[in-house]
Structure 1
Amino acid sequence: MNPVLYDRIFFGASVIDGTGAAAIVADVALLADRIAAIGTLTPGTGRVEIAAQGLVLAPGFIDVHTHDDLELIRNPAMLAKLSQGVTTVITGNCGISAAPADLNAPPPDPMNLLGQQAEFAYRSFAEYAKALQQAKPGVNTAALVGHTTLRHAVMTDLSKAATPKQQLKMQQQLRQSLEQGALGLSSGLAYHNAIAAPSAELAVVGAPLAEFDAIYTSHLRSEFAAIIPALAEAADLGLHLKVPVVISHLKCAGMANWGRAGEVLEFIGKRAAKQHFCCDCYPYSASSSTLDLKQVTADFEIFITWSEPYPAMAGQTLAQIAASWQLPLLETAARLMPAGAVYHGMSETDVQQFLSYPPTMIGSDGLPCDPHPHPRLWGAFPRVLGHYSRDLQLFSLSQAIHKMTGLSAQNFKLAQRGSIKVGNFADLVLFDAEKIKDNADFVQPFAQAEGIVQVYVNGGLAFDGGMACPDRHGRFLAHQPQR
């Protein structure tokens, strides 16, 4: 009788290790929270043994662009992510984060995408990290600090540039957050409450980033006609701060901007040759955020996801509401605000070019608080694997998985994650490459994907049989500077 050496063994899986390498058929063993062996293993040496023939075993997917900051505490089961094979989320994107914040009024736009006033209860990053550890969500979390959140903490009028004194206060709060495990700084300069901030403000606020081996992520000042100057601003800031730059949800927004993906990627490629400059993207030609009067147009469909003054309007298009109210689009939008919207404002050809670009990572940008969310919340990762890789053959399955595992772990400095390697943490997804499919759409946005068989987080079974498991294994991943 063979001695039991491992907690779990997958036999005969098609192993795609996350590095971009082609699949190999191998056995993979887990012991505690780590990958313990890869190769040809002996039956009977695992406490639990899984016949994985015909299935793909990959590193757990890393969602590099989420707004799950408070959802992780509110609904820690995180079924929307586990059901897609996601085992780690990055929060604090687009300049908005749950901490450090101390609200004495409703959260300003776009912080209201994250939750209600009472939920912003974390005056320091350490308090937020502690709350995550206590909630023990189903997935791992690494967190950025939002520039708009910092602005709100030290300023009363967000429509202005911060004073030198306010900039230094934000810098101090960022430094404290980095000391407490924050991954870096994010900004959302397109939004009303940050657009007045010049690059010089971010240069002061972000000054501590390099010292902590941290990163800067940017929701660009413009994704419309001025996208190239906006990209240059983000790249120049990264050079000044001496830190890696990630462009969030890269897109060419608005019909007048369609067809510019090649130009945008040429610019990114030139800057990437002399600095760490990369991007993430979601696999849809529609975006979703707060309703913004600057983006109201009759050129494409705008779908209302929520409205504070008129909650019953969620689930209708802006044009439908305008017709029923017998008002122009702009006046209708103004009445609905504060509100959320899905903008069908991108070219599918551009989306495919951005997804195909080898350094592009995958991020869902899902909004869990939306009553009628964009389907990316429940479908982004299976859509890349099923629709774009298998069906359209835009890239190989190994390349697709690299974009959501090894590449993401490298750019977001997640040590010992993102690849199937002995000694790494056992974040794994077992799926059927022939069956994987996103089912969420704009009519049924909560429809769960199919084809994900099991998900493991830190060696623990997290998703099985279409359900999140009762035991949760997610951890807060405090950033550890690699000096």
Structure 2
Amino acid sequence: MTLRCDLIIRDATLIDGTGAPRRRGDIGVKGDRIAAIGDLSAMAADREVMAEGRVVAPGFIDAHTHDDQVVLCGPACMLCKTSQGVTTVVVGNCGISLSPVTMATRPPPPLDGVCAPEWWIFDSFAAYADRLRANPSAVNTLALIGHMSLRIGAMGRDLDRPATDREAEAMRKQLAQALAEGAVGLSTGLFYPPSKHAPTDEVIAVAEALRGTGGLYVTHMRDEADHVLDSIEETLKIGAAVGAPIIISHHKCAQPENHGRSVETLPLIERHAAQYPVAFDMYPYTASSTSLGARKPRPDVAVTVTTSVPHPEMAGRALADIATEWGVSLEDAAARLMPAGGVFHNMGEEDVRRIMAHPLSMIGSDGGPLAKHPHPRLWGTFPRVLGRYSRDLGLFDLETAVHKMTGRTASIFGIADRGVLREGAFADLVLFDAATVADRATFTEPRQVADGIVETWVNGASVYTHAGGASDTPAGRLLRRDATPLLGPSPLAV
């Protein structure tokens, strides 16, 4: 009896996500799984797509997002991701998660830039998970629990101090409950005011809930600028103290005086990774984006306003131009705009390339979906790696680029049966043209779909085509981490 598939993509260049060499062949999907790979000329399907040599890869896994709210807002809200070929997002980063805390008033920055005030209604991770299951997104979701959210739940707005032992224990218990309900780890944002007063010992006390669970410790470190080496050491101390695999978020060397220091940071991370599981994500841009008050403005770092509550008309404008127009200093202009967000052009291209090419890296967008004028990484990250950095600059081959977005990320996060093209794996797929794939989102016009992403499938269902845009198919699922503790060294081979 001839196997009949729901979908066959024929004559594709198959890049399987493991880093292995590409090969030509067909791929068949039945239900939500890959049913067959190879020469499927004897098989039939309800729908056949002729790839004509274009690439089929596993759907991209966005290792670092702030999509906590938008995954709850319907499939069409994820066009910024599905149009890049992204099929899974990791939410709850930088210490910010939409659960397990409720708030009756506007949260402090940077939490207010990630989720709107009316969305802080989930007093447990189970409540958030139930909402997501009842209203599925177009993409799969893997969720971390944020230390800032836990802090507010335990300490209210009295955050300019270390937590007491009782408060730290309350946070630990909340984290333990969330892990039992399906969250995959703890994230911190020790750079930001709601958590900057938390000493290392407090974070370790809260992170004790990770011990023996396989849960991850993921961190926006305390300092990515002058004290970046000290912050790496603190990060490793926290993870090792509780036996948790470590992910350093959006690794960078910020501010002009630190450009080039990736020659120091990467060997330091490597030395630790030789003994203990450590990874990092990064995005392919020389500009960061966060709350406008996160860094004191300075003349040698250009800043663009992404959003402003009191002055929404200033979104997309340069802070320096606004200050000149108002006849005030950069600092006074920023204060007048807040609550607000900004794009900070504070990194060096040499560091971006060096960090991206490193074997321990994976790709995360860190986009801000609520911003009126977002950083272009929200719409352009993954095509930019494929087009600009792999094809045009030759930083690494296409197989390595795909691996950093798929198989490596799935392995680090413990996502079973995703991130690879393999019979029996879930049919999260992207079809793209390697010759034309490119990001179109720019700092001037950030909301632009990419070129060359032909179609995206999540769990076997088509969620995006370049010709037709986003579908209204709620194909995504809430994912859990394979909880097998990973306690050995990080693999350095790609």
TM-score, normalised via structure 2 length? 0.96
Secondary structure of residue in 1 paired with 2:27: strand
Equivalent residue, structure 2, for 1:397: 398
Contact 2:75 2:473 in 1 (8 A): no
Equivalent residue, structure 1, for 2:491: none
Q: Do residues 199 (structure 1) and 200 (structure 2) align?
A: yes
Contact 2:413 2:481 in 1 (8 A): no
1:193-238 CA deviation, whole Å, 9 max, x = no partner? 1000011111110102132211010101001000000000001111
Q: Do residues 336 (structure 1) and 337 (structure 2) align?
A: yes
Contact 2:74 2:474 in 1 (8 A): no
1:62-104 CA deviation, whole Å, 9 max, x = no partner? 0010000001112432110000000000000000001001102
Contact 1:83 1:466 in 2 (8 A): no
Displacement of 1:469 in angstroms is 1.6
Contact 2:5 2:43 in 1 (8 A): no
- 1:69-468 map, 5 Å: 69-77=68-76, 78-156=78-156, 157-292=158-293, 294-464=295-465, 465-468=467-470
1:242-297 CA deviation, whole Å, 9 max, x = no partner? 11100000000000101111111111111110111110000000000001263311
Q: Do residues 470 (structure 1) and 472 (structure 2) align?
A: yes
Secondary structure of residue in 1 paired with 2:101: coil
Rounded to whole Å, the distance in 2 between the matches of 1:363 and 1:342 is 17
The amino acid of 1:479's aligned partner reads R
Contact 2:74 2:136 in 1 (8 A): no
The amino acid of 2:135's aligned partner reads A
The amino acid of 2:422's aligned partner reads K
The amino acid of 1:341's aligned partner reads G
The amino acid of 1:477's aligned partner reads L
Secondary structure of residue in 2 paired with 1:353: helix
Q: Do residues 58 (structure 1) and 57 (structure 2) align?
A: yes
Contact 2:15 2:56 in 1 (8 A): yes
Once the two structures are overlaid, the 10-residue window that deviates more, 218-227 or 105-114, is 105-114
Structure 1 unaligned spans of 5+: none
Displacement of 1:131 in angstroms is 0.8
1:308-357 CA deviation, whole Å, 9 max, x = no partner? 22222211111101101111111211221111000001001111111111
Contact 1:187 1:217 in 2 (8 A): yes
Secondary structure of residue in 1 paired with 2:193: coil
Structure 2 unaligned spans of 5+: 486-494
Secondary structure of residue in 2 paired with 1:84: coil
Contact 1:383 1:437 in 2 (8 A): yes
Once the two structures are overlaid, the 10-residue window that deviates more, 464-473 or 144-153, is 464-473
Aligned residues: 482
Secondary structure of residue in 2 paired with 1:442: coil
Once the two structures are overlaid, the 10-residue window that deviates more, 462-471 or 97-106, is 462-471
Secondary structure of residue in 1 paired with 2:209: coil
Equivalent residue, structure 1, for 2:489: none
Equivalent residue, structure 2, for 1:17: 16
Contact 1:93 1:217 in 2 (8 A): yes
Secondary structure of residue in 1 paired with 2:121: coil
Secondary structure of residue in 2 paired with 1:401: helix
Rounded to whole Å, the distance in 2 between the matches of 1:467 and 1:315 is 25
The amino acid of 1:345's aligned partner reads N
Secondary structure of residue in 2 paired with 1:295: coil
Secondary structure of residue in 2 paired with 1:48: strand
Once the two structures are overlaid, the 10-residue window that deviates more, 330-339 or 142-151, is 330-339
Rounded to whole Å, the distance in 1 between the matches of 2:73 and 2:472 is 16
Displacement of 1:443 in angstroms is 0.8
Rounded to whole Å, the distance in 2 between the matches of 1:229 and 1:407 is 27
Contact 1:406 1:419 in 2 (8 A): yes
Secondary structure of residue in 2 paired with 1:161: coil
Distance 1:294 1:470, change over 3 A: closer
Distance 1:293 1:66, change over 3 A: closer
TM-score, normalised via structure 1 length? 0.98
The amino acid of 1:122's aligned partner reads F
Rounded to whole Å, the distance in 2 between the matches of 1:185 and 1:76 is 27
Contact 2:307 2:372 in 1 (8 A): yes
Once the two structures are overlaid, the 10-residue window that deviates more, 178-187 or 97-106, is 97-106
Displacement of 1:44 in angstroms is 4.6
Rounded to whole Å, the distance in 1 between the matches of 2:423 and 2:53 is 22
Contact 2:296 2:331 in 1 (8 A): no
Contact 1:16 1:57 in 2 (8 A): yes
Rounded to whole Å, the distance in 2 between the matches of 1:281 and 1:75 is 27
Contact 1:209 1:241 in 2 (8 A): yes
Displacement of 1:51 in angstroms is 1.5
Displacement of 1:47 in angstroms is 2.2
